[in-house]
Amino acid sequence: MSTATHRRLTTDSWESLLRAQVTVMREFNKEPLLKELGSREYDVLFNLSRCPSGWLRLNELNDHVLLTQPSISRMVDRLESRGLVQRKTVEEDKRGVLIGLTEAGVAVQKKVGRAHVEHIQEIMEAALSDDEMRTLLVLTEKLQRSVRGN
């Protein structure tokens, strides 16, 4: 394969992956529950729900979402004002702040999460077989490991 052909394949593959992600995310954003709780807000609640201790530092949360540090700080402020997350000071480091879900946040995350999982399942099953989903999983994990240097 020539260098130019390889370069074109590389960019076409990347653009296709990105377009697929944008198309699917636009479809997800049509979910009625994501109208009352935006997809980025849900992403924050989801990541907090997956934390074994139930708490994450703001900078750790930032590692898991596609938002800048100032944006995530403002979002956490909004979620806190809605009673969905809470803050506490890190015992060992009084400057550190931990973010965790409130009971209301847990309930909202579960409610939206159930509907979101059903929608994900509908979209994925309509387009891909189980074998294709496994292949997609292998390929996307491989890409992530490569970028991370693992």
Instruction: List strand residue ranges (DSSP E) for 9-142, in order.
Output: 55-57, 85-89, 97-101
The fraction of the chain above a pLDDT of 90, given in percent, is 56
Closest CA to 43 of 76, 86, 89, 88: 76
Distance CA 135, CA 129 (A): 10
Statement: residue 10 has pLDDT above 90: yes
Statement: residue 17 has pLDDT above 80: yes
For 126, the token pair is 């309509």
User: What residues pair up with 88 in beta bridges, in sequence order?
Assistant: 98
Tens digits of per-residue pLDDT, 52-92? 888 988 888 888 887 777 888 899 999 999 999 999 887 77
Distance CA 134, CA 13 (A): 18
